[in-house]
């Protein structure tokens, strides 16, 4: 009887895996069918594109069903986590029966295979919305866009299936291995979805760009038709949203590592951290290209394809394990497959670029215009920052592929090589603000100002004021000058906005000025917090004692030991065990005349080892960052607590850091979010006003009709 039950249970599990994969396979087939119909349905007749209406309706139904299947597969995986389906490798690896429900719901985007399905799921939703939006008013441009999106989505589905999130384990374990404790935080429910949304928006804009190149409908023609105007408006919204989500993803990851992981820093130049910066740099460079209606070159399109590749590169590093990193999931065929996908897209871009006959880059620089020179400096400083960060990630991959020893690029490489181009970018922002906002400084006056600021910076670096680091001292005067100039520009813009003179133009200028101020504030926060940080080193402390560190007194109580909690399947011991034990103690921190109360906590996880959560005291002067580490005594205390026994530790280690003015970084992130929200809102408002005022003069593409 038990054998028959086991066989039935096995059959049910096989049906589960086959059902999830079947949804994805069928979706790929339907999208291939949709792509074929769109290719066959379009016919060129005398220079005009004519399409078969019935074929378009069938294609729409096929694509809609494919999107429904992808969504169903994603929710099927989610329910597998919620229902503790530990016979699935993904569920076993990243969950347990005692895991909180919010993490089970977020597990599909936390795990390796599930996160690829999540990216596909997000992209399919945007794709479906676009199909609905374009249905019934298809044009040559929209059909070309849909074809490219079909190819993108089919590729993502095939890559997801290469390491299926529905892979079945040979035996059903009694419980899961448990979620990594570093991921058991609120930020894991926010950070990955935000990053993946940014990636999906980049994919969509890349599809639009390739379609415009393929049909010859460039940005320079977008004013001449309501359909092209809609596409241009949609592209701006998507680009703004992509930039915002990528920036927020980087910022949330920094806060996560600072507040939760106990590293005491928000940025460590980890390979995946650095890779996440690459598409953001590419999009930021894109926004600093001049908007020439003539579109004499392909640099805007090239910058977008670079952003697309950098998204794929960052995903391949994380999901494919091309490099060792705290963020990666180990070796996987997904990484090489993603790079092959990106290579195919790049080759198609090269084909389209050669067909247009336009040069890659043909800048129009007015050497008498400070604004023109500043935009050129901003663009190329960002491009060189991107190249440095990319080479820092690529060099270890090339070394490993050639059979060399494992290597890592030290943070000093990035700090030293990125520094001059960061200052060049700040100088460009200063030039942009001085050339507008009522100041109208000449190129000669700007050059003199830069020389004076450089001299002040050199004196500050020589006398090591206000920080111990010469690079920070040299750059701070430039940052402060740029901040004051941009603030003056913002104040002038707000004044003109209040006069109701060209409100849309001034609102947009206000958003951009606020965005530039946010970047300056972040850089000032980075320069000061990273160079003036102080660390106490390891202090061995005993229960119910007082520790003096960096001018603060820390009074700790007797630790409280919490015996084994939760339950997981132990990988090492091959039996069910408690998930973790806890050592916690109350702490009173006396810093000058102020007193703060908090709690120091350290965990021992059966499958993951020791983890401590820092205690952070935030003030206007900066953060006091306190965390504990284990000694032999505290390690044994936590280990035996897992076994149900309680021993008080004799000692433990406390480390203290002072991180001055770190709040400037988080303030800059908030202002950056607000500024981009202003720009997006202004685009939406302007589009709504355009609809109310009527289409005006429209120049169509040609005849699009049913056959």
Long-range contacts of 443-449 (CB under 8 A, 24+ apart): 443/367, 443/368, 443/369, 443/370, 443/373, 446/370, 449/481
Residue 265: how many CB atoms within 10 A of its CB?
17
Give the C-alpha separation, 549 to 596, whole Å. Answer: 15
Compute CA distances 11 → 3, 82, 357, 492, 621, whole Å: 12, 20, 59, 71, 63
Give the per-residue pLDDT at 389. 95
Give the C-alpha separation, 582 to 605, whole Å. Answer: 9
The length of the chain, given as a count of residues? 707
| Dihedral class, residue 625 (left if φ above 0, else alpha if ψ from -120 to 50, else beta) | beta
Give the per-residue pLDDT at 49. 53
Give the per-residue pLDDT at 263. 55
pLDDT in tens, 362-401: 888 888 889 899 999 999 999 999 999 999 988 888 876 6
pLDDT in tens, 64-117: 999 999 999 999 999 999 999 998 999 999 999 999 999 999 999 988 889 999
Give the per-residue pLDDT at 508. 83
Give the C-alpha separation, 415 to 409, whole Å. Answer: 11
Mean pLDDT across the chain, nearest whole number?
86
pTM: 0.90
Give me 196's structure tokens.
């993946």
Q: 432 vs 570, which has greater pLDDT?
A: 432
Give the per-residue pLDDT at 302. 96
Asked if residues 231 and 222 have their Cβ atoms less than 8 Å apart, the reply is: yes
Give the per-residue pLDDT at 264. 55
* Residues of the chain above pLDDT 70, percent: 85
Beta bridge partners of 628: 654
In sequence order, what are the residues at sequence separation of 6 or more whose Cβ sits closer than 8 angstroms to the Cβ of residue 152?
A: 123, 203, 207
Give the per-residue pLDDT at 367. 86
CA 643, chain centre distance (Å): 41
Give the C-alpha separation, 624 to 600, whole Å. Answer: 13
The stretch 247-276 carries a mean pLDDT of 84
**Which of 8-17, 116-125, 344-353 is predicted with the least confidence, judged by mean pLDDT?**
8-17
Give me 655's structure tokens.
């480390």
pLDDT in tens, 210-222: 999 998 865 444 4
Q: 623 vs 136, which has greater pLDDT?
A: 623
CB half-sphere exposure, 395, CA atoms < 13 A: 13
Q: Which letter does DSSP use for residue 187 in this model?
A: G
Burial of residue 249 (CB within 10 Å: 0-12, 13-18, 19+) is buried
Asked if residues 339 and 369 have their Cβ atoms less than 8 Å apart, the reply is: no
């Amino acid at each position: 009887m038990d054998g028959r039950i086991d066989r039935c249970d096995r059959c049910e599990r096989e049906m589960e895996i086959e059902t999830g994969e079947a949804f994805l396979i069928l979706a790929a087939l339907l999208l291939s069918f949709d792509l074929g119909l769109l290719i066959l349905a379009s016919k060129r007749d005398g220079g005009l594109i004519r399409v078969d209406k019935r074929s378009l309706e069938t294609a729409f139904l096929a694509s809609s069903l494919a999107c429904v299947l992808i969504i169903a597969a994603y929710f099927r995986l989610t329910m597998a986590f919620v229902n503790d389906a530990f016979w699935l490798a993904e569920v076993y690896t990243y969950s347990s029966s005692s895991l909180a429900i919010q993490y089970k719901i977020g597990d599909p985007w936390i795990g390796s295979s599930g996160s690829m399905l999540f990216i596909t799921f997000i992209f399919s939703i945007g794709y479906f919305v676009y199909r609905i939006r374009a249905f019934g008013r298809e044009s040559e441009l929209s059909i070309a866009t849909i074809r490219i999106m079909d190819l993108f989505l089919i590729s993502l589905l095939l890559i997801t299936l290469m390491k299926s999130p529905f892979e079945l384990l040979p035996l059903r374990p009694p419980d899961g291995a448990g979620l990594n404790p570093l991921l058991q935080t609120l930020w894991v429910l926010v950070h990955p979805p935000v990053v993946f949304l940014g990636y999906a928006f980049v994919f969509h804009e890349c599809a639009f760009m390739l379609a415009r190149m393929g049909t010859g409908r460039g940005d320079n023609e977008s004013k001449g038709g309501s359909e092209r105007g809609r596409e241009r408006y949609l592209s701006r919204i998507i680009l703004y949203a992509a930039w915002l989500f990528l920036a927020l993803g980087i910022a949330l990851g920094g806060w996560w590592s600072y507040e939760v992981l106990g590293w005491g820093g928000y940025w460590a130049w980890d390979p995946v951290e650095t890779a996440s910066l690459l598409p953001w740099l590419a999009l930021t460079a894109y926004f600093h290209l001049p908007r020439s209606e003539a579109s004499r070159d392909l640099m805007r399109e090239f910058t977008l394809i670079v952003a697309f590749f950098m998204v794929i590169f960052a995903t391949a590093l994380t999901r494919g394990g091309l490099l060792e990193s705290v963020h990666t999931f180990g070796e996987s065929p997904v990484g090489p497959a993603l790079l092959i996908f990106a290579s195919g897209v790049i080759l198609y871009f090269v084909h389209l670029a050669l067909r247009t006959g336009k040069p890659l880059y043909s800048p129009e620089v007015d050497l008498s215009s400070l604004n023109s020179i500043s935009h050129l400096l901003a663009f190329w400083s960002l491009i060189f920052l991107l190249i440095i960060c990319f080479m820092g990630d690529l060099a270890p991959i090339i070394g490993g592929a050639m059979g060399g020893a494992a290597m890592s690029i030290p943070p000093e490489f990035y700090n030293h090589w990125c520094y001059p181009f960061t200052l060049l970018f700040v100088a460009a922002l200063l030039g942009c603000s001085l050339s507008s906002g009522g100041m109208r400084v000449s190129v000669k006056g700007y050059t003199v100002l830069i020389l004076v600021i450089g001299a002040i910076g050199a004196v500050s670096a020589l006398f090591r004021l206000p920080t111990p680091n010469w690079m920070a001292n040299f750059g701070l005067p430039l940052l402060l000058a740029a901040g004051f100039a941009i603030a003056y520009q913002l104040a002038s813009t707000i004044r003109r906005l209040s006069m109701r003179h060209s409100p849309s133009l001034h609102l947009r200028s206000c958003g951009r000025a606020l965005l530039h101020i946010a970047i300056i504030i972040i850089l000032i926060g980075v320069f000061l917090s990273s160079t003036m940080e102080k660390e106490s080193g390891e202090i061995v402390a005993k229960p119910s004692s007082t520790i003096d560190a960096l001018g603060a007194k820390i009074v700790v109580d007797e630790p409280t030991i919490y015996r084994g909690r939760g339950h997981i399947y132990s990988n090492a011991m091959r039996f069910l065990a408690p998930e973790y034990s806890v050592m916690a103690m109350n702490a009173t921190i006396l810093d000058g005349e102020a007193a703060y109360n908090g709690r120091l906590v350290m965990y021992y996880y059966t499958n993951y080892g020791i983890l401590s959560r820092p205690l952070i005291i935030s003030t206007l002067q900066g953060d006091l960052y306190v965390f504990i580490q284990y000694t032999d005594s505290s390690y044994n205390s936590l280990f035996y607590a897992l076994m149900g026994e309680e021993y008080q530790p004799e000692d433990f280690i406390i480390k203290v850091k002072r991180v001055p003015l770190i709040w400037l970084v988080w303030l800059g992130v908030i202002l950056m979010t607000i500024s981009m929200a202003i720009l997006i809102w202004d685009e939406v408002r302007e589009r709504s006003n355009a609809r109310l005022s009527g289409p005006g003069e429209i120049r169509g593409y040609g005849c699009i009709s049913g056959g």
